[in-house]
Structure 1
Amino acid sequence: MREQNASSTSFIETIAGFTAGIVSTLTLHPLDLLKTRLQVDSISRTRVVGSSTRLLRHIYTREGGIAAFYRGLTPNIIGNSTSWAAYFLFYGNIKQALSRRGGSGGDSKELGASEYFFASGAAGILTALLTNPIWVLKTRMLSTGSAAPGAYTSFIAGARQILKHEGFAGFYRGLVPALFGVSHGAFQFMAYEKLKAYRTSTTTTATTTTSSTTAANANNSRNSLGTLDLLGISGLSKVFAGCITYPYQVLRTRLQSYNAAIVYRGVWDVTRQIWRQEGITGFYKGLGPNLLRVLPGTWVTFLVYENTKGVLYKSIG
């Protein structure tokens, strides 16, 4: 019975994460494109809203109108849906393993902040190793217009170009900062789980001791949270993690850009160059669009994830 429940939970986590990734990407891809363009800009020292407005105007007038804002949509959908599906699959199974190991008499125990941090970090590392090639393709397609010299015409064409000119290692450019960025997810999910547990405890009138709380009971109580609860919890956790870890995204994007092999010798070199040429604020380029994207993206992702998961749990019974 335990194996069947574990199998059902893994299936639910995977499908819920996959669905959340697709919906959030379709909704917010243009902001992702804008953020990427600003992150790869190593010349301009402006990071104000005005530069974003000028870039939006440039993309619209010179790269093909509204359709230009959806360049790179295919790798972004593949990357986000695959990443969220893999992440929630790994994360759910690691949490279950930690909970069962710490329980007694077959019961599951409530995890602490450090255990949520570990589970999220481990899931993030596995997901990064699995999906980094997709993010290299996505970054390169989003960072240039379709008419730019050497621009990839499609996801498959880009993969062939990388394999031909850079070899297999080309698919893993930017992996080091991406692995460092795992800390973002770890901080986010640690905060998310603890805030969710706290909110659940304050809204539940009939309390149950944590030592006897089963996985099914935990899921039911979490699914009882309303939309406003999930918006607040997911938003706070994302802002918390984003304020701590944003610079790694700039490093990763620079290392995954078209000319990275020529301009940068590695993660420490790009760090030194940004610091020397652009100062501390260079590590926060694109933060404005990222903040505009991060909360709607988080809200959409977690609302779709939690509601899809709730529907699936009910349908499976």
Structure 2
Amino acid sequence: MNDNHARLSPALVETIAGLSAGTISTLAVHPLDVIKTRLQIQRNTSSSPASAFGILKSLVKNERPIQSLYRGLTPNLIGNAGSWAIFFYFKSLAETQLLAFHNRPTSNYTLQEGSPQPRRGLSPFDYFLASGVSGTVITISTNPIWVLKTRMLSSDRGTEGAYENMWHGARQLWKTEGWRGFYRGVGVSLLGNSHGAVQFAVYEPLKNLWRKHVANEHQLSGKTPAGYHRQEKLGNTATLVLSGSAKIVAGTVTYPYQVIRSRLQTYHADERYGRGIVGVASKVWRDEGWKGFYKGLGTNIVRVLPATWVTFLVYENVRYYLPLWGNPE
């Protein structure tokens, strides 16, 4: 058993850590996702627009409040857990290839024969690129799940035209819109990959700097024994601060695409919000101004910070301890 654990590849560790993190964080914050989605598709057609608290009250007052708060959980759980697993797997592969590219043998003859070539690490742009490539793979493979999730979260069970469950929704979507219906909003989602790319372009360099700082402090204080080469563990407090900061930066910069995507993916989108990314964006600007692109931002921040904290706490701890399981030395 020890030999098998010792042979866990970095990509497999990243996949398991991502799957664990996505599952737990989705279960924890799904009700906030329901509220955020319904805020995003609201149009200012009355003097008293819907608020997050108002939507929460209506969900709780439902005959089955738990089912209302967790409506659409199945596609959200499959989508999030699967997305994190796929994301970290391909991100790990991309980073490995980028490291190999940067540290490939050089033909620089100014180096003395036999002298070691300085090893180069990854830059913020490398993390941006690796995350962007991984995000593209996820978007193409999981967009049908997000279409079903958006429609289920934006409606109550039993209302006219609402999907009863994920599988009923998939059948109805195929019947009424064909395969194109499963890829509604895929263009704006691809643009939205910039969110994850920006987030990890901020998070990973900050994490590396913090680890170097902690390692230096341990060496100076004598806490690190001679010959100790294990990577410093990112503390829970540091994980909260670094992941939260990176998420706020990325979320605020890229939030408008989420509003456009939600409106593209909901029921009768063309009639209600316009056709395509340009059509939806133009209608939002014309009817609601720049504020329309940030509808639900407050709720989203409240939602994404706990989700981010849970995700990265689980991810970093599983990522650190999994290779040590059964191989503590």
TM-score in terms of structure 1 length: 0.89
Answer with 1 or 2: which has the greater Rg.
2
1:190 to 191, 201, 206: 201
Counterpart in 2 of 1:95? 95
Distance 1:82 1:6 in 2: 23
Distance 1:201 1:129, change over 3 A: same
Counterpart in 2 of 1:58? 58
Distance 1:61 1:127, change over 3 A: same
For the pair 1:282 / 2:292, whether they are aligned, the reply is yes
Distance 2:296 2:179 in 1: 29
Aligned-pair identity (%): 45
Counterparts of 1:223-242 in structure 2 under 5 Å?
Answer: 224-242=233-251
Aligned-partner residue type, residue 20 of structure 1: A
8 Å CA contact 1:63–1:146 kept in 2: the answer is: no
Counterpart of 1:42 in 2: which secondary structure? coil
For the pair 1:41 / 2:46, whether they are aligned, the reply is no
Deviations 1:58-84 (A, max 9, x none): 222246323210100111100000100
Distance 1:184 1:140 in 2: 22
TM-score in terms of structure 2 length: 0.86
Counterparts of 1:137-156 in structure 2 under 5 Å?
Answer: 137-156=148-167
Distance 1:231 1:47, change over 3 A: farther
What is the alpha-carbon root mean square deviation over aligned residues? Answer: 2.4
Aligned-partner residue type, residue 51 of structure 1: S
Counterpart of 1:246 in 2: which secondary structure? helix
Deviation at 1:46, TM superposition (A): 8.2
For the pair 1:76 / 2:76, whether they are aligned, the reply is yes
Deviations 1:245-279 (A, max 9, x none): 00000000000001113332111000000000011
Counterpart in 2 of 1:163? 174
Extract unaligned runs of 5+ from structure 2: 106-116, 220-227
Deviations 1:258-304 (A, max 9, x none): 11133321110000000000111000011111010111000000110
Counterpart in 2 of 1:19? 20
Distance 2:212 2:19 in 1: 29
Extract unaligned runs of 5+ from structure 1: 209-216
8 Å CA contact 2:234–2:316 kept in 1: the answer is: no
Distance 1:206 1:111, change over 3 A: same
Kindly indicate which of the two structures has a greater share of residues assigned to helix.
Answer: 1
Counterpart in 1 of 2:111? none
Counterpart in 1 of 2:133? 122
Aligned-partner residue type, residue 71 of structure 1: R
Distance 1:63 1:23, change over 3 A: same
